[in-house]
Chains A and B, each alone.
Chain A
Amino acid sequence: MKKNLPILLALVALVVFGLVRYDHFGSAYNINSFWRYNSMFALISVGMAFVIITGGIDLSVGTVAAMSSVVAALTSTYGGWVAVLAGSLAGLIVGVLNGIIITRLKILPFITTLATSLGAHGVGLLLGKNDAVSIAPDSNFGAFGQGDLFGLPIPGIVAVVAALAGWLALRSTRFGRHSLAIGGSEEAARLMGLNVDRTLVTAYAVSGLLAGMAGVILAAQFGAGQPNEGVGWELFAISAVVLGGTLLTGGEGSIAMTIAGVLLLGLVFNLLNFENGLGFISLSAYWQSVIRGVFLLAVIVMQARVLKQRGRKRTAAVAG
């Protein structure tokens, strides 16, 4: 818990700062649009958290989301639900492919997902003929990104449901507990008789599926499938997971804290917009990446200190 304190404090501080300084920061409009936009990042970050907990990494989520957005846009002529299913399925297929290459061919996750990332980008460009694909104008697909349900943005609801499901899955399902065990020590998990390969394939499939859903939301929200969007999303997701205190070595991690990481990264952008809106100073949008980097650095430095202390304690315990 101590490890998570800095990020939670930073999050509270940013929210309080925003509420005090800007009139409309707490308005329903701002909260809804923030939620709507960041739902895509929340989805891919939850998937990334699972993969990282198993000790792997998934660099393909960004271009998979882009590819899925093109697939969803192309299939939206057959109706909204078809587009949603087709887009998610496209993501799921790449995720399963990642899992199979990693477990069967025994290629490092980093290289595998790097390759499939290139492949997904290529497929997205081929399907979209190197350009954005608009969704069918008369379909109800757009509602999936722009619509509301009970006054709440639909993509936001999807993200919250996914995050809750992920949280529960990690806490109290066999898949979640096995993921943690494999991340802790793959060899030990294998020797205990866990089906390591199946768990790994599932983790990458979940990541691919959620990336596909993020792509569906992308297409629905902006009215077009974007084959060139999504580049760099994987690193956004990795930073969110790292900010949430999940170690890249695997074996531990938290879905709730990952969402906190997503919120923190999103708030930097939101606050910057408000600050520029006030008109006292004009910070270009480029500052957001610098500020995000500084946040990441601060969290890493604090985590490193906590981990060092923990390591020392453990050594002391072993010696005693």
Chain B
Amino acid sequence: MALKSLKTLGNQAAQPLAAQTPLAAPDSAAQQQAKKRHRVTIQREVIVLLAMLVFNLLFTQHFWSLQTFNVNLTQVVTIVIVGIGMTLVVATGGIDLSVGASMAISGALAPMLFMNIPGPGGIALAFVLPVIAAAACGVFNGLLVTKLSVQPIVATLVLFIAGRGIAQVVTDGSLQAFDNPAFQWIALGKVGGVPFQVLLMFALVALFVWVVRKTLFGQYLLITGGNEKAAYLCGVPTARVKLIAYTICAALAGLAGLISISVNSSSDANVVGLGIELDAIAAVAVGGTALTGGKAYIGGTLIGALIIQLLRFTLLAHGIPDAAALVVKAAIIVAAVYVQRRSR
């Protein structure tokens, strides 16, 4: 087991650090190989996505329209945004089951703020405070994982159970309906015909691709997931890296919660973000990020979410019921992970 982890470190995680030092020249062959492998992994998912697009262009009526484009993308926005954070947590070798609860908490708080505090101040607070509250959930998860060495599944199970309960208690389980164009612009606003939430999603993907590839945090993240003990001995602040990953994940889930309630013009703590942890994990897995940690393909997560969504759309557009789409989704997840395993 230890040997296996060390190998992972040699192939994947150590590579970014080597790139930092000017003495890395002799390693360039290994680097190129690693780069090539990275490119190949992503390419396969891109090919699947393109194949599905071509299929739809040929066989699905009215597929080539801005409306179809917008519908499909707005369906994945929350999954992708949560998935970005999930990718970071998975890269550390962890998992976050509490993202749906974080969404519910932030979704429950926001209407209370902008419905009770008039003016732009209330709107601003409704954007900031719920995300901070969600981030606090992430800090809680992170502290359990790092300070108490609780396994990530168990640690995040606490908020998975209690978090939605907190949101339900705060709102007394009732639905908060609202009509606030200024707040809802985050979901319903359009820039050049494209929904703002879609642009926001792409911006976040770009931002975190940059974070993972170019920043010190990104490199620490991969090393921590690759071999935590080795990383710690090399002086990487592994505990802090994990804490930050869980915090970012929860904060992004909070943001997704705001988008989700804006789309629905209502906030229902029983429903907001229900089951999204599984969708996000599925997107991460189909996108090529191994659940064992040490890798983070943010772009892959985007493509993974798009593949799952496009598959669902294709089946629905051809009259196959949603329930059957679930079964196909299950098969796709198993097939995707199996293919990735074999290529490794």
Contact = CB atoms under 8 A, between A and B. Distances in A.
B34 interface: no
Nearest to B278: A114
A293 to B, nearest CB: 2
A118 B291 CA distance: 18
A231 B276 CA distance: 13
Interface in B275-307: 275, 278, 281-282, 285, 291-292
Interface size bucket, A side? 35 or more
Interface stretch (B17-25, B253-261, B332-340): B332-340
Contacts of A231: 275
| Chain B, interface SS category | helix
A115 B328 CA distance: 10
Contacts of A57: 153
Contacts of A20: none
Interface string B317-341: 0000111111101110110011001
Contact of A239 (B150, B161, B168, B331): B161
Interface stretch (A4-12, A74-82, A148-156, A283-291): A283-291
Interface string A231-274: 10001001100100001110000000000000000000000000
A301 B160 CA distance: 17
Interface in B166-182: 166, 168-169, 172-173
A110 interface: yes
A111 B337 contact: yes
Interface stretch (A26-34, A119-127, A158-166, A198-206): A119-127
A248 B159 contact: no
Contact of B334 (A59, A112, A130): A112
A292 interface: yes
B334 A286 contact: no
Interface of B: 1, 95, 97, 144, 148-151, 153-155, 157-166, 168-169, 172-173, 275, 278, 281-282, 285, 291-292, 321-327, 329-331, 333-334, 337-338, 341
6 contacts: A116-B330, A118-B333, A231-B275, A235-B161, A304-B149, A307-B149
Interface of A: 57, 59, 101, 105-108, 110-112, 114-119, 121-126, 130, 187, 231, 235, 238-239, 242, 247-249, 284, 286-290, 292-294, 296-297, 300-301, 304, 307-308
